[in-house]
Structure 1
Amino acid sequence: MGGPLRGGGPAAPGRPRGAAVLPGRVAAADRAGGGRRGGGPGGGRVPGTAEDEEHPPLREFWALRPELFAAVRPFLTDADQDVRASALFAALPLSEHPDLAGYRPELVGHAERFLAASTDRYRRGRVLAVLRRRGRDTAGLENAEDRAARAERLRRPADLKARGCAVPSL
């Protein structure tokens, strides 16, 4: 095994052994920082809420966000597009820390470049959700698939209610 950001996994063509593990490490930080349930892109948890205060290990993790962001930030400009994307998904939830507010405009730039190049519907949705939560008008960044997916998400609760299903309020 290598250093803290390297491992012994298979290398991508043209990359040194261990470098291929970095996206996995960054993805692990993404899952820890946000993921589907967390405060990251598309997640439902809001950092700094009473729910976090009642769970000391989570509070300790959130306190580490500046250090984790410092480790991830250099990879936002990596030559490999997959590494850049993984770094972006790790950095977005980490940047919710108040000490990292100054980096948010930089991340918006990375997010816009990602959206201009990506066709990954799930990841695009996560990035667009973060931008919308931060007050950004995303209409010019969305493609037809993004708009259709958003319309579908908005329609589902109404369809459930129409069929008599209980729909939790958010």
Structure 2
Amino acid sequence: MTRFTPPLFSRMRLALFRFIHRKNPRIQVGEGLRLDCWLSIKGPGLVTIGDNCVVSALPGSAAYMTTLYTNAPEACITIGNNVSLVSARFSSRFAIHVGDGVLVEDASLMDTDFHTLDISRQTPKDETRETCSISIGRDVYIGARAFVTKGVVLEEGTKVYPGAVVQKSWPAQTLLIGNPAKPFQPQ
């Protein structure tokens, strides 16, 4: 079996990415990362990307990059092995964990509300690492324009259809659709 060689621009993006982040101990990247679009990592938290991951964009989409943002020093985003992030947007105040073999396609994962909805716009006082962290199991698919909110656990093999808003946890092999997301039984 021959090994896939990324296109020239992917290799150049990866070289530039590694150069820019070479002295940042808060960003850890495994072997075989392929950057078919820009990857933006910002914030004071820890970001770990596993082996053989692919970062790409949807053709014709205005979302031309993937973003992994940590909003606090104790925040962490952990991406497993063989994960595909297609114009994905992550924002973490606490923790977002993505298991192996996951596909996140033009979707958002946020483990915080950022601020209250009143005029003060203060940091929500009821948010904690235990209640807000997001965990995505192995081989989960999260479709385009889907949104995963704080405290959600999606177990192995769950599929989140495009446009779904996931506000609570679901067991393995669940098919989710709608706003709010509910189980879907194909006929």
Structures share fold, TM-score greater than 0.5: no
Q: What is the TM-score normalised by the length of structure 1? A: 0.24
Compare the two structures and name the one with the higher strand fraction.
Answer: 2
Task: Return the structure number with greater helix share.
Answer: 1
Q: TM-score scaled to structure 2, two decimals? A: 0.22
Larger Rg over CA atoms: 1
